[in-house]
Amino acid sequence: MSAAKLPDLSHLWMPFTANRQFKANPRLLASAKGMYYTSFDGRQILDGTAGLWCVNAGHCREEIVSAIASQAGVMDYAPGFQLGHPLAFEAATAVAGLMPQGLDRVFFTNSGSESVDTALKIALAYHRARGEAQRTRLIGRERGYHGVGFGGISVGGISPNRKTFSGALLPAVDHLPHTHSLEHNAFTRGQPEWGAHLADELERIIALHDASTIAAVIVEPMAGSTGVLVPPKGYLEKLREITARHGILLIFDEVITAYGRLGEATAAAYFGVTPDLITMAKGVSNAAVPAGAVAVRREVHDAIVNGPQGGIEFFHGYTYSAHPLAAAAVLATLDIYRREDLFARARKLSAAFEEAAHSLKGAPHVIDVRNIGLVAGIELSPREGAPGARAAEAFQKCFDTGLMVRYTGDILAVSPPLIVDENQIGQIFEGIGKVLKEVA
């Protein structure tokens, strides 16, 4: 990297980054188009991760760019409290149109973390509005990632994200066990056969606390950030059945899976399991402008909003909820998904993607490959005494050779934009295979 052109790196405190290591060896991106980034030093980098699981329609799409640019010139900002603007309503209608039947009320946020905290608050407000204010307990899952708000880290199950803040986590939270098992499910293609029974743990938690104290269960239908955990066959169905039977709301955190990652608009549609709330962000605006949303079952919304007349029904919202630029980006993005039939494209490519991913079985260090739709996790054996170091080295070497992947612990994750073609799928997994031969 040319030192002359490098900006001063000292002031920026980077998120979820080893700051000192990064600044000693910066990886800067300068521009992006379609399937590629261009690095600061002018190299083409094939985007194997849709940025951070979010640029599903590919980078710098003209339609989104011009929608944002023209909206910025028409009305840069409009308050969303007690005032509105047409694009906000149109964007909500467009989002509702892609949700499972019944989830047709939409609350806008700016990020996945905000969507999660919003959904948890809606769950509490719903029970309170129905005269069950004692339902305050929230159930998450080990290894779950629900962003970084206090609600999200409380129901989340990734210990480094929690331990520093452990004294300030929400008090009434419990966790289901995670579904990862190399012993039973290594090298599974699609949904594993083993593990549906892990949903029965919810019955144990309910027996412990009593259903009358529990507001909601939140899970990622496909857990992404923890390293791609595909739900076992029948698992989500069981969660749905148990929560419905006990009057507990089920929240699917679809910040990664919406839109199209599994070949349907939502994972709910893909698995045929409809929760009561769906959180989203990332792909809803193709990440071109920060945006997020919660889609809510109409009865849940109505229980809160159609209460006694008189004033604000739900004391929650963000200055930038349905920001005009975000609303413009959402409309343009969802229009691209529809016009280009990108979810069907993801579905069609998923067999070739699966084949290519599983070609890494037998590659050095690989102890598992798992996949669904256009997402794959490649788990490496950890280096003795240095967990995560091997995947970190693989990530760096991939970047050096022009390929962007993600890593978490010793798991590499691949989730390209849905515009990826078969050649590029080949390049991604061949690239990883080559790198693994060089990684100690």
Output 111 or 118, the one with its CB closest to ligand PLP.
111
DSSP 212: G
Among 281, 291, 369, 432, binds ligand PLP (CB under 6 A): 281
Regarding 275 and contact with ligand PLP (CB under 6 A), the answer is: no
CB 331 within 8 A of CB 87: yes
Site residues (CB under 6 A) for ligand PLP, limited to 92-121: 111-113, 116
Q: How far, in Å, CA of 9 to CA of 6, rounded?
A: 8
Stretch that binds ligand PLP, among 67-75, 95-103, 219-227, 295-303 (CB under 6 A): 219-227
Regarding 253 and contact with ligand PLP (CB under 6 A), the answer is: yes
Backbone angle region of 272, left / alpha / beta, with phi > 0 → left and psi within -120 to 50 → alpha = left
Regarding 145 and contact with ligand PLP (CB under 6 A), the answer is: yes
User: Which of 228, 122, 214, 224 lies closest to 176 in space, CA to CA?
Assistant: 214
Q: In what order do the strands lie in the sheet with 406-408?
A: 366-372, 375-380, 411-414, 406-408
Output 281 or 435, the one with its CB closest to ligand PLP.
281
The C-alpha angle with vertex 139 and arms to 135 and 142, in degrees rounded to 5, equals 170
Regarding 390 and contact with ligand PLP (CB under 6 A), the answer is: no
Regarding 146 and contact with ligand PLP (CB under 6 A), the answer is: yes
DSSP 76: S
Stretch that binds ligand PLP, among 27-35, 141-149, 167-175, 365-373 (CB under 6 A): 141-149
Output 140 or 192, the one with its CB closest to ligand PLP.
140
Q: How far is the CB of 155 from ligand PLP (least distance, A)?
A: 10
* Tokens of residue 70, six digits: 């023209």
Q: How far is the CB of 217 from ligand PLP (least distance, A)?
A: 14
Regarding 224 and contact with ligand PLP (CB under 6 A), the answer is: yes
Stretch that binds ligand PLP, among 81-89, 123-131, 220-228, 320-328 (CB under 6 A): 220-228
Regarding 436 and contact with ligand PLP (CB under 6 A), the answer is: no
Among 51, 80, 147, 232, binds ligand PLP (CB under 6 A): 147
32 φ/ψ angles, rounded to the nearest 5 degrees: -155, 145
Burial class (CB in 10 A: 0-12, 13-18, 19+), 328: buried
CB 274 within 8 A of CB 101: yes
- Binding footprint of ligand PLP on the chain (CB under 6 A): 111-113, 116, 145-147, 220, 224-225, 253, 255-256, 281
